[in-house]
Amino acid sequence: WALAGAAFAAVLQFGMPTVAFDEGSPIQMLALKIGMGWTAFFLVLPAVLGDQRSGWSRQALSLRPLAAIGAVSYGIYLWHIIVVGLLRKYTLAGIVPAQFRVWWPTTVAISVVLGTVSYWAVERPAMRWSHRATRASRVNSATQRSCVSAPDSPGMDAPDGA
């Protein structure tokens, strides 16, 4: 955890933007991306390499709200790109303030709502359908194998015209 804090402190040294869509110099943005990548890496590392049965990070990750966010996280990831694009459009038009403290929570809130809706309306039904289709194909292939492998078994009728 200390390494994650150190990586984030290093990111802050490069001047994290306080105004939305203030991109800074290319070197500054590269350092920001690399620093945030290392921060994320060191945040996840203890959860992956630590004791899988104990620890406060395991207890925190097993909380229902965090498990729910984990279930819809792919939708959040996909939607946040669209939300940021729209906020950028409205920020440049002067409709939404450009302060980070305004657009970041707005992006998170809208993305979580849209990610949750898309999970329940699209992702979950698609997963159920794929499991049903997989199960049906397994049953069909097992039935076909048993019929093909033993055509002359006692109790099986001969095909018509035989």
Inform me whether the pLDDT recorded for 46 exceeds 60: yes
In sequence order, what are the beta bridge partners of 49? none
Higher pLDDT, 35 or 61: 35
Question: What was the pLDDT predicted at 113?
Answer: 97
pLDDT at 115: 97
The Cβ of residue 85 has, within 10 Å, a number of other Cβ atoms equal to 10
The pLDDT, as a whole number, for residue 74 is: 93
Reduced to 3 states, what is the DSSP secondary structure of residue 83? Answer: helix
> Mean pLDDT across the stretch 28-57?
81
- Mean pLDDT for all residues in the chain: 79
Q: Is it the case that residue 19 has pLDDT exceeding 60? A: no
Distance CA 44, CA 19 (A): 28
**44 three-state secondary structure:** helix
Q: Is the pLDDT of residue 120 over 90?
A: yes
Which residue would you say has higher pLDDT here, 141 or 8? 8
> Does pLDDT of 155 surpass 70?
no
Percentage of the chain modeled with pLDDT above 70: 75
The rounded percent of the chain whose pLDDT value lies above 90 is: 26
Residue-level pLDDT at 152:
54
- Cβ–Cβ < 8 Å for 11, 32: yes
Largest CA distance in the chain: 85
At 150 the pLDDT is 52
Q: Is the pLDDT of residue 28 over 90?
A: no
Q: pTM of the predicted model, to two decimals?
A: 0.62
In the predicted structure, residue 109 carries a pLDDT above the cut 60: yes
